Amino acid sequence: MKSSLNSTLLQKMVVVGILIFIIALSFLSRSFLTLTNFNNVTRQVSFVVITGCAVTALMISGNFDLSIGSVLALTGTISAILVTYSVPLWLSIILATLVGSGIGLLNGFMVVKLNIPSIIATLGTMYAARGLALVITGGNTIHLGLGENFTLLGRGYLGMIPITFFIMVIAVLLFYFIESKTTLGRYAYAIGGNRRSAFLSGINVGSIVVLLYLLVGSLAGFSGVLMASRLGVGQPMVGVGFEFDVIVAVILGGTSIEGGEGSVFGMVVGAFIVGFIANGLNLLGVHSFYQSIVKGLVLVGAVLLDRKIKEMIVE
């Protein structure tokens, strides 16, 4: 959905940037433009994109969630622990995902009912969920007794394409549908665009925001299960900084930090540009320390460029 001319413009810019980058890299490194490498990047990016789908909707409504990285770790370890207690794999996936939903609900409750600013409320659950993951694992990595099937979702293939790719596509299409065709998506834009006006129009602002937090928690929870499956272990310290990877993808995708505009497709492009930069620099043999610097520069540079272009349009 084109919520405004300007955000689509940033997306176009990002797409052009990504194409130039891919073409340049394919000349510089032979292994860049191969299916194996593409699958690699996809698997890395898929966690960001799957969670990012719900986070985009939440940020369009003008709210934040910093707890997703910790939720990822908590639900990943829970799914692993449940499997070691001989809970069937499918049930452990569902239960772990529901724990994520529960934390989402708690975030929503704190923001809406207790009126705590979203950054503070979710910073609280960020610490608490990480702590909980450490408590239930005793700080250890869970790797014994997980069985073969545990890694199916995260490492498996359907034909030549990783399963995570399909899950990612389904999540993106679902949230594109929500964003552009449903009342929930519309209310998210309205609340982020002008909360007061939305409230005066009779919108139940509170329940919409809670629902969005619930979706974010659920998808972060499911991503945690996927992550554990990919790693083949339940690790309480995974996903540190994951929340910022997601927020960077959402912002690069043209979602306004104040809310009211943005799109899921933009977020996908944003996530892939970050993924390809990291991957490309890797292939070129640039140390990961430098990659972090580049990521920072790209984020600030893109937002700055976006504003300059908006100013030019206004003039």
CA distances in angstroms from 186 to 56, 70, 95, listed in the order given: 13, 29, 30
Binding flag, residue 183, other proteins (CB under 8 A):
yes
Site map (CB under 8 A) of other proteins, residues 250-269, x = contact? ----------xx--------
C-beta of 142 vs 211, nearer to other proteins: 211
CA–CA gap between residue 179 and residue 93 (Å, rounded): 26
Would you count residue 276 as binding other proteins (CB under 8 A)?
no
158 phi and psi angles, rounded to 5 deg = -115, 105
Q: Collapse the DSSP code of 260 into the 3-class scheme (helix H, G, I; strand E, B; otherwise coil) and give the result.
A: coil
The answer to whether the beta carbons of residues 166 and 160 sit under 8 Å apart is: no
Q: Which is nearer to other proteins, 155 or 195 (CB)?
A: 195
In a 3-state reduction of DSSP, which class is residue 269?
Answer: helix
Among 26-34, 143-151, 198-206, 304-312, the segment contacting other proteins (CB under 8 A): 198-206
Paired strand residues for 161: 158
> Whole-number minimum distance, CB 194 to other proteins, in Å?
4
Contact indicator for 313, 5 with CB cutoff of 8 Å: yes
Question: To which H or E segment does residue 158 belong?
Answer: strand 157-158
Stretch that binds other proteins, among 30-38, 44-52, 186-194, 265-273 (CB under 8 A): 186-194
Q: Which residues contact 174 (CB under 8 A, 6 or more apart)?
A: 53
Instruction: Collapse the DSSP code of 157 into the 3-class scheme (helix H, G, I; strand E, B; otherwise coil) and give the result.
Output: strand
Taking contact as CB under 8 A, which single stretch among the options 24-32, 79-87, 148-156, 178-186 is the one that binds other proteins? Answer: 178-186
Stretch that binds other proteins, among 14-22, 117-125, 134-142, 181-189 (CB under 8 A): 181-189
- CA-to-CA distance for 194 and 165, rounded, in angstroms? 36
- Is position 3 an interface residue for other proteins (rule: CB under 8 A)? yes
Stretch in the footprint of other proteins (CB under 8 A) among 13-21, 136-144, 188-196, 284-292: 188-196
64-93 mask for other proteins (x: CB under 8 A)?
Answer: ------------------------------
Residue 142: strand, helix, or coil = strand
The nearer residue to other proteins, 173 or 293, going by C-beta atoms, is 173
Q: How far apart are CA 254 and CA 262, in angstroms?
A: 5
Residue 314 interacts with other proteins (CB under 8 A): yes or no = no
Q: Between 3 and 46, name the residue whose CB sits nearer to other proteins.
A: 3
**Identity of residue 262:** G
Q: Which of 30, 113, 181, 307 is in the footprint of other proteins by CB under 8 A?
A: 181
Q: 118 by DSSP, 3-state: which?
A: helix
Residue 34 touching other proteins (CB under 8 A): no
Taking the complex as a whole, the smallest distance from the CB of residue 113 to other proteins amounts, in Å, to 15
Give the chain's length: 315
Residue with tokens 């964003």: 179
Contact 51, 226 (CB under 8 A): no
Binding mask 204-223 for other proteins (x = CB under 8 A): x-------------------
Identity of the residue, 135 or 170, whose beta carbon is nearer to other proteins in the bound complex: 170
Binding site for other proteins (CB under 8 A): 3-4, 181-184, 186-187, 189-190, 193-194, 196-204, 260-261
